[in-house]
Amino acid sequence: MSTAIRVENVSKRYRLGVINRHMLYQDLQSRWARWRGLPDPNTPVLQAKRRGDEDSHEEFWALRDVGFEVREGESLGVIGSNGAGKSTLLKILSEITAPTSGRVLMRGRVASLLEVGTGFHQELTGRENVFLNGAILGMGRKEIARKFDQIVEFSGVEQFIDTPVKRYSSGMRVRLAFAVAAHLEPEILIVDEVLAVGDVAFQEKCLNQMEESCRSGRTILFVSHNLAAVQNLCTRGVVLENGRLTFDGTQTEAIAHYGKTSATQGASVANRSDRSGTGQVRVTRVEMRNREGQCVSAAASGDDLEIRLHYENHSGKRFAKLDAAVFFQNETRVLVFQHSNAYSGTPFLLPPEQGTFVCRIPRLPLPAGNYLIGFRVSAEYPAGELLDKIVHAADLAVTAGDFFGAGVIVPPSNGAVFVDAEWKLETL
């Protein structure tokens, strides 16, 4: 088999600060000031200072010397945490932006799907949008006409095909959009996490469609932090960390590698600004540990999991009955469950200035998927003053596992949480 995609030492640099300069007069102002030997009035002083110690010249390398190959018919999963460079890589491969250095070579017709329904127009009918969207994705008019009936059938919106799309429900729109995308017949398919749209049943339909593509010998590059999907769809995996490629192997090995390394330090949240509360107590780091005490960012359903919130209290004020809580949101930002030390009846009485709130969850009751971990610290349960809260402090990838211990893997479509129950048959 020959190579379908070859990525050679690709790097991408973003210049911070330059992006915000949008006005011609500001540029002229800066030039004029420099010409007279005065300081530039448009340099963000604070910003420059703050970033100075981290990165010189306000540069940021989203990708650094990334190189890999994908063979024909192979499906490669690219995994990594938020900000690891996944979307930048995707943008380069889709020609939305150019690399700063390096190059990418591809063989065959390429289609990239960063979003379903790109270019859908509200005023146009479903039919007109199928043609428009298909053409935007690179199909010719004849090709679309040939596949039109199949597309409409797949979407299940036959009745409304001549109705303007603005009268569609969001679900119908997504189905029609995906139907178009599913009928692209590229030799290389580059997909983002577009599958995280729509209801669970439709997501599964999309996954099935993609699995079929894999079997038909198409080369697929799948970028995701949905480890369960990567496990099912891909035959190979690479891991991106801080813009560098740190692992290349089978998808199972890649997931294992990602789960271990991406979490060695836990997620530092000391400098996060998306928090609320008075800040008298501040959580500085969030760690997740498995049964062996190793830091992880992935766990299987039914595994034991420990969430550790490292905190600091420099306010001088001591709290008599501190309440800490962790919460789990799923990908659609629905709160699946939360837990607080008040629930288990273990109040933290006068906690010291520094320490760790530890929440141990025996047998993780979550089906496979991605979860956002948040925390809250307040002075008292239930209505004490809010001290610190971040809704999305860390990510947890849950892979399919045997929660019930009976050898049954229950799919995510069967419910948002697992609960213990007992069954018996009573006879009359």
Partner 1 sequence: MTTTDSAKEDAAWSKVITPHRGWLDVRWRELWRYRDLIALFVQRDFVSAYKQTILGPLWFLLQPLFTTLVFTVVFGRVAQISTDSVPRPLFYLSGVVMWQYFADCLNKTSHTFTSNAGLFGKVYFPRLVIPVSTVITSLITFAIQFALFLAFLAYYKWQGAAVEVSFRIIILPLLLLLMAALGLGFGCMVSALTTRYRDLSVAVGFGVQLWMYASTVVYPLSEIPEDWRWVFVLNPMVPIIESFRFAFLGSGVVELWQLALGAGVSFGVLLAGILIFNYVEKTFADTV
Alpha helices (H) along 16-125:
24-35, 45-52, 86-93
Burial of 415 (0-12, 13-18, 19+ CB in 10 A): exposed
* Distance in angstroms between the alpha carbons of the first and the last residue of the chain: 65
Give the one residue of 39, 41, 108, 411 binding partner 1; rule: CB under 8 A: 108
**Residue 107 found at the interface with partner 1 (CB under 8 A):** yes
Is residue 224 at the binding interface for partner 1, with CB under 8 A as the rule? no
One DSSP character per residue, 50-81 reads: HHHTTSGGGEEEEEEEEEEEEETT-EEEEE--
- Verify binding: residue 404, partner 1, rule CB under 8 A: no
Distance CA 321, CA 307 (A): 20
Pairing mode, strands 348-349 and 321-330: antiparallel
Contact in structure between 219 and 75 (CB atoms under 8 Å): yes
Q: Give the whole-angstrom CA distance, residue 2 versus residue 69.
A: 10
User: With binding defined as CB under 8 A, does residue 102 bind partner 1?
Assistant: yes
Among 64, 86, 91, 310, binds partner 1 (CB under 8 A): 91
Q: Which of 63, 76, 110, 342 binds partner 1 (CB under 8 A)?
A: 110
Q: Which of 246, 263, 277 is nearest to 394 (CA)?
A: 263
Smallest distance, partner 1 to C-beta of residue 6, A: 8
CA distances from 286 to 23, 84, 191, 296, 307 (A): 41, 18, 31, 11, 7
Residue 137: CB minimum distance to partner 1, A: 7
- Which range in 45-53, 137-145, 205-213, 310-318 contacts partner 1 by CB under 8 A? 137-145
- Residue 399 CB, shortest distance to partner 1, in Å, is 29
Residue entry with tokens 């100075």: 52
Does position 137 interact with partner 1 (CB under 8 A)? The reply is yes
Q: Of these, 119, 217, 355, 411, which contacts partner 1 (CB under 8 A)?
A: 119
Whether 398 and 347 have beta carbons less than 8 Å apart is answered as no
Q: Does 162 bind partner 1 (CB under 8 A)?
A: no
SS3 281: coil
Site string for partner 1, 24-43 (x = CB under 8 A): xx-x----------------
Residue 319 beta carbon to partner 1: minimum distance, rounded to whole angstroms: 46
State which of residues 57, 121, 291, 318 lies at the interface with partner 1 (CB under 8 A): 121
Which one among 43, 57, 98, 208 touches partner 1, defined by CB under 8 A?
A: 98
> Smaller CB distance to partner 1: residue 114 or 200?
114
Is-contact 4 70, C-beta < 8 A?
yes
User: What secondary structure letter does DSSP report for 343?
Assistant: T
User: Can residue 128 be called a binding residue for partner 1 (CB under 8 A)?
Assistant: yes
Q: Does 52 bind partner 1 (CB under 8 A)?
A: no
Number of residues that bind partner 1 (CB under 8 A): 46
Per CB under 8 A, which of residues 7..26 are in contact with partner 1?
Answer: 14, 19, 21-25
Q: Does 249 bind partner 1 (CB under 8 A)?
A: no
Instruction: Assess 93 for contact with partner 1 (CB under 8 A).
Output: yes
| CA–CA separation, 322 and 385 (whole Å) | 10
Residues of the shown chain interacting with partner 1 in the complex, contacts defined by CB under 8 A: 14, 19, 21-25, 27, 91-110, 112, 114-115, 118-119, 121-124, 128, 131-132, 135-138, 140-141
